[in-house]
Amino acid sequence: MSSSTVSTQAIAPAEFFAQLAAEDIGPFVGVPCSLISSLIAYAVDHGQEVEYVNPVHESHAMAFAAGSYMATKKLPMVFMQNSGFGNIINPLTSLHQIYDIPAILLVTWRGEEGYGTDAPEHWIVGEHMEEYFRAFQLPYRVITPESWKTDLRDMKEEAMRTRKPTVICVRKGLFAKYESATVPGKQYEMTSADALKMIKSELQGSVFLSTTGMLSRESFTAEDTPDFYMMGSMGLVAGIAAGCAQYSDRRIVVLDGDGAMMMHMGLLPFIGARNYRNLFHIVIDNEAYSSTQGQPTVSPSVDFALAAKACGYASSVRVETAQALSAALKDLGNTPGPILLHVKVRSGNDHHIGRVSDKYTCPEVTERFSGNFS
């Protein structure tokens, strides 16, 4: 495996996007990763300079890229965290590669050194990243501050020559820092940490599952109960909760996030149709991807409570204040489900709080959680 060391001569986001423009590459479309947070922050702040598109799922980014190429013949760049690489396999192999639709994929390399390095959800993909590129016939370059312009041009030329996707792979520390002036959800009074403390206090005795990233970390910090703290599989926590609700009479509480919920909103009609009376679905919506440094989501235009009601949930409520949240938890606590509670909070999280993986392995999380049903 290649060394994970990156030169201290980090690439400025402005220089990177200037080079994309010079090579006529765009739009810049995808799902965030902290390793490219400065790129996304710059793109968000410079809409006149960078065509930035933020779909809610990596496969949606691939689909958008396919459409944009066919409409313009301009080579798009699709960015993603390598833990999300699995989400593009279907559109890669059954859309881009068989219809001859090129793109450059910018894939970050979390967990490059394998088990025990980085968060657990990156270990397997990180250790075998280059093998996956080869298995799916993706020409690639692991770019460096010294080689990136040449590598970018080579992968562009290869993509356009073959009419197939190619990859530039990005290590930690490659890009210089850039702080965005855009702060999503700043108009709301509650923080997600405050909301989670109230939820876990009011709904004591429930079985909790929490989505990946900061929400699981904040739930764990609020109270270390034997929850299913997800590390990875973004957007699927409600599906796991449905499987629990199917075979238990206990109240199952899903702690979801806006970015995660939108990744797999198809779970709403599934849960509504199954009519799980013991399922309480709570969406903590800060209009941002908290774990990857707070890039904006598209949730400001989404009413999760209305969507849930349209999908067959028995009850759904939206709240924006601590007082309203307290009242809703009391009102809905014993109401038959499925219920969805949409909680608006402001963005901004304490990234210094502990990780679940600092205390428990993933198998230990499973074992503790399974004890709820013994």
Question: How many independent structural domains does the chain possess?
Answer: 2
Residues 145 and 197 placed together within one structural domain of the fold? no
Residues 365 and 296 placed together within one structural domain of the fold? yes
DSSP classification of residue 324: H
Residue 159 lies in a domain: yes
pLDDT at position 2, please? Answer: 43
Residues 284 and 148 placed together within one structural domain of the fold? no
Residues 166 and 196 placed together within one structural domain of the fold? no
CA distance 69 to 99: 12
As to burial, measured by CB atoms within 10 angstroms (0-12 exposed, 13-18 middle, 19+ buried), residue 47 is: exposed
**Type of residue numbered 362:** C
CA gyration radius, the chain:
21
Cβ atoms of 203 and 280 within 8 Å: the answer is yes
Residue 48 lies in a domain: yes
Residue 6 lies in a domain: no
Please enumerate in sequence order all residues whose Cβ is within 8 A of that of 352, keeping only pairs 6 or more positions apart, or say none: none
Residues 161 and 200 placed together within one structural domain of the fold? no
Residue 180 lies in a domain: no
Residue 182 lies in a domain: no
Range of the structural domain that residue 51 is part of: 13-170
Could you give phi then psi for residue 83, rounded to 5 degrees?
Answer: -65, -20
- Residue 278 Rama label (left phi>0; alpha psi -120 to 50; beta): alpha
Residue 332 lies in a domain: yes
> pLDDT tens, 2-49?
445 455 689 999 999 999 999 999 999 999 999 999 999 999 999 999
Residue 175 lies in a domain: no
> pLDDT tens, 126-141?
999 999 999 999 999 9
Residue 321 lies in a domain: yes
- Altogether, the residues listed in the chain come to a count of 374
Cβ atoms of 41 and 179 within 8 Å: the answer is yes
Cβ atoms of 213 and 291 within 8 Å: the answer is yes
The token duo for 365 is 């999380």
Residue 44's CATH number: 3.40.50.970
Q: 10-residue block means of pLDDT along the chain (374 residues)?
A: 57 97 97 94 94 96 98 98 95 98 97 84 91 97 97 98 98 93 83 94 95 89 93 93 97 95 96 97 89 78 96 97 95 92 86 84 96 95
Dihedral of alpha carbons 18, 174, 116, 123, sign? positive
H, E, C per residue of 135-197: HCCCCEEECCCCCHHHHHHHHHHHHHHHCCCEEEEECCCCECCCCCCCCCCCCCCCEHHHHHH
Report helix, strand or coil for 28.
Answer: strand
CA distance 259 to 141: 29
CA distance 180 to 66: 29
| Listed residue (221, 205, 218, 215) closest to 237, CA to CA | 215
Residues 197 and 133 placed together within one structural domain of the fold? no
